[in-house]
Structure 1
Amino acid sequence: MAAQAAAEKAAREAAEYAHAAREVQEAEECLQRGIQPVIIPMLDEIATVKTRVQYEQGHFHFAIAGVAGSGKSSLINATRGVENRNQDAAETGVVETTVTTGRYPDPNPDLPFGLFVFDCVIVLFDNRFTETDIAILTNCRRFQIPTYIISSKADVHIRNIIYKDGYDNDRDDVTVHE
């Protein structure tokens, strides 16, 4: 009996090892094709991140995500009604400015403002939608987090298009016919 139990245990361990080896091989093949692995956080990891971002039950927590320079800090300041020069504003600049995740309280305490611990994620992009943006949206869908996609700096893009097409506001002699 002991020999049979030992043989069954060895067979189980060999099958588990073979399964793990196949998973590693599949993951390596995916990485070679540019497919990023899916990492599902454990409950203790979720709790750790909630503590780090000062998550408070009963508040609405949202994240603004996007590539460097897309206007995330400016959107945070505009949403909070804070001018960029204000000492409580998210720092902005023409080069990558914000290098750490921050928490910005709502200047109006009567309205509670509070990737997988947030109640909502806003993905901000400026002139092109990137693989990073797609990865953020894919993970939000995986965790069933509502997302909103916002195109920033539209005024700059419109101005550039108008300039490129040679629009001259001094020649606004278009007549409207009714």
Structure 2
Amino acid sequence: MDLSGALQRVGEDDPNAAVAKAKEQLDSLDSVTLNIAVTGETGAGKSAFINAFRGLGDDDDNSAPTGVTETTTQITMYTHPTKSNTRLWDLPGIGMPKFKANEFLKDVKFETYDLFIIISSERFKENDVFLAKEIQKKKKNFYFVRTKIDNDIRSAAQKRNFNEQQVLCTIREDCNRNLKEVGNPKVFLISSYDLGKYDFQDLVDTLESDLSEHKSFALVQSVPVCSLAMLEKKKELMEKLIWLPALASCLGAFVPFPGLSVVIDKTVLTAYLLGCHYNLGLNEKSLTKLSERMDKPVSQLQSAIKSPVTSAVVNTLATRPHASMKTKPVKSLDDLLDSKFLVASVLNATEAFKATHAVLSEALNDMINDMRRVLQVAGLDG
């Protein structure tokens, strides 16, 4: 996209007004809230799903409590650890002795949520169908998720003539039989402990297509990178938005006098690159969780990071020297942007937009390649 296309996108002819509008749109992307309600019968695995969706383990700080008995007794909101505008709401299990379905309908505020995920770890039952019908009446979207598929597969694998695809097909057919009353909705089969398998990617694709543009952006930013397919989804989304920080960084874009230059605001570019770093899972906490889940030393995952951009971001965020940086000096993100010819002012808005767009595109591509290598080392590139 060139500058004229960017100006057209924000609906402004005046470059200065367009820069202000671009900043507003960037702010709105991070401020729009996405509220996801997670419900289902007692013990269905709601809390484990909420933790996995937020990239947390069951024992992490701020994780939703899990257990073999019902641990949710009241509606509880959990924010995403890096994207607080994404909120998952753990709703008490329908059918609990002290929490009947009719009481649930009185207490739950349907208007609060953008969508509902109805979870079951076995077959969907009467209460699940009841809730889906009530959600339909409120004209809200709902999705059926069948959890603990990994347990089913392990159990079936003990039998003679085991066929994983046949087991999955049987589970789907059983779920569909029990949901005919709500119009044969699609059922997503997932394992909260291995989101890269089964239907989690399909679930995210479906939610994204059903949400508004800004809410779908919040969704894709929030989900962890658990596979190459999810990485590609994030890449596609971030590439579409590069024009916004490129435009927003062009201070004094309208220059009426010859010889005056455009200043490029590196703080906007830095904020964008830091956001990409977290969204891709290249931050320390995400790499640590990945190393634990895949039983790989975190140092091996970090060794896959080759680009100076990612290293500069890590260096900017680090409170202590990074292990991989002890033998090789790493530029700060500010210095790195300077080295990309952004230290000097440029002569016009067109040149400024082109330069920043190119730098951000290259930086994003470098970080994407880093995360591809991380996934390969982790054994998630299949």
Q: Would you say same fold, with TM above 0.5?
A: yes
Superimposed CA distance per residue, residues 5-51 of structure 1 (whole angstroms, 9 cap, x where no aligned partner)? xxxxxxxxxxxxxxxxxxxxxxxxxxxxxxxxxxxxxxxxxxxxxxx
Superimposed CA distance per residue, residues 39-80 of structure 1 (whole angstroms, 9 cap, x where no aligned partner)? xxxxxxxxxxxxxxxxxx941111001001110000000001
Higher RCO, 1 vs 2 (CA within 8 Å, ≥6 residues apart):
1
For residues 76 and 148 of structure 1, the distance between their equivalents in structure 2, rounded to whole angstroms, comes to 15
In structure 2, which of residues 41, 62, 81 is the aligned counterpart of residue 107 of structure 1? 81
For residues 100 and 167 of structure 1, the distance between their equivalents in structure 2, rounded to whole angstroms, comes to 44
For residues 99 and 167 of structure 1, the distance between their equivalents in structure 2, rounded to whole angstroms, comes to 42
Question: What is residue 160 of structure 1 aligned with on the other side?
Answer: 155
For residues 126 and 153 of structure 1, the distance between their equivalents in structure 2, rounded to whole angstroms, comes to 6
In structure 2, which of residues 116, 129, 135 is the aligned counterpart of residue 134 of structure 1? 129
SS at match of 1:155: helix
For residues 79 and 59 of structure 2, the distance between their equivalents in structure 1, rounded to whole angstroms, comes to 16
In structure 1, which of residues 74, 77, 92 is the aligned counterpart of residue 48 of structure 2? 74
Deviation for aligned residue 1:148? 1.1
Query: TM-score, normalized by length of structure 1?
Result: 0.57
Query: TM-score, normalized by length of structure 2?
Result: 0.27
Question: What is residue 20 of structure 1 aligned with on the other side?
Answer: none
For residues 105 and 60 of structure 1, the distance between their equivalents in structure 2, rounded to whole angstroms, comes to 10
Task: Write 1 or 2 for the structure with the bigger share of helix.
Answer: 2
Question: What is residue 142 of structure 2 aligned with on the other side?
Answer: 147
Question: What is residue 33 of structure 2 aligned with on the other side?
Answer: 59
Amino acid at match of 1:119: D
Question: What is residue 44 of structure 1 aligned with on the other side?
Answer: none
Amino acid at match of 1:97: T
Map 1:26-37 to 2 at 5 A: none
For residues 167 and 107 of structure 1, the distance between their equivalents in structure 2, rounded to whole angstroms, comes to 43
Identity %: 29
Deviation for aligned residue 1:167? 5.9
Question: What is residue 122 of structure 1 aligned with on the other side?
Answer: 117
For residues 81 and 58 of structure 1, the distance between their equivalents in structure 2, rounded to whole angstroms, comes to 20
Gaps of 5+ in 2: 1-30, 88-107, 163-382
For residues 154 and 132 of structure 1, the distance between their equivalents in structure 2, rounded to whole angstroms, comes to 21
| Structure 1 vs Structure 2 CA RMSD | 1.9
For residues 42 and 161 of structure 2, the distance between their equivalents in structure 1, rounded to whole angstroms, comes to 31
Amino acid at match of 1:102: T
Superimposed CA distance per residue, residues 111-150 of structure 1 (whole angstroms, 9 cap, x where no aligned partner)? 6214512110001111111111101110111111111111
